[in-house]
Amino acid sequence: MSSVSNRSGPSIAVWIVEDDIQYRQTVVYLLNHTSDLHCAAEFFAFEEIQALVDGREPWTPPDVVLMDIGLPGVDGIQGVAWLKTRLPGVPIVMLTLHDDADMIFEALRAGASGYLLKDTPLDQTLDAIREAFRGGSLMPAPVAVKVLHFFRQAVPREKYNLTKREHEILGLMADGYVQKQIAEKLWLSPHTVDNHIRHIYEKLHVHSGIEAVAKAIREQLI
């Protein structure tokens, strides 16, 4: 049964779709006891979101969606593809119990912005939600290496005229590195890295790191 909150304000509004009641309730409690986050709606199954979005009752889009990959009925992968047609600008973060690279790969192809393993410490889960809201990349877990393995035999970066350095930085972004870490790893100044990232955005016609990584994965640029 879905539950929609009436809470409003400047905090980040999160929808969670999760059939594991204990895990869902834990995350909902955590969200609602964090000053800059709140759970705007919780759902047991994806069909409940479909009923809400396509129904006649008014509703407010969330800022971030957390969704289990292994939902009953319409699974998370099918759910991402459907929801992106209704909420194209809302980042969808997949929740998964196991680092199943095949399923995560399919979710990313369907439009997911990233994923979180369910055993991720709760404080890191909150940070990941904030990062998704800001447009950041959510591929910090070890499974990222498995997912990216699919794309090592990729479409040449020349498709978007990416330079060798831009391609290298894009790969590090996909691996979960932030600007400061990229600068340290490549022995570059943060300003230089920022310039490269801006050029990557321009060439890929995107506006954020998470969009850049998602497009790179979908089009096999990395």
The domain segmentation of the chain, as residue ranges, is: 3-140, 151-218
Whether pTM > 0.85 for this model: the answer is no
Q: Do 3-140 and 151-218 share a fold?
A: no
41 phi, psi to nearest 5 deg: -165, 145
Is 151-218 assigned to CATH 1.10.10.10? Answer: yes
Using one digit for the tens of pLDDT, what is the confidence trace for 184-209? 989 988 888 888 988 998 888 887 78
Q: Are 132 and 64 in contact (CB under 8 A)?
A: yes
**Beta bridge partner(s), residue 17:** 43, 67
For the domain covering 3-140, report its CATH number.
3.40.50.2300
Tokens of 217: 């994965």
List the one residue out of 118, 59, 99 whose CA is nearest residue 83. 59
Residue 162 pLDDT exceeds 90: no
Residue 1 pLDDT exceeds 50: no
The Cα 118–Cα 63 span in angstroms is 20
> Which residues, including other chains, have CB under 8 Å from residue 34's CB and lie 6 or more apart?
126
Using one digit for the tens of pLDDT, what is the confidence trace for 88-113? 889 999 998 877 777 777 787 788 88
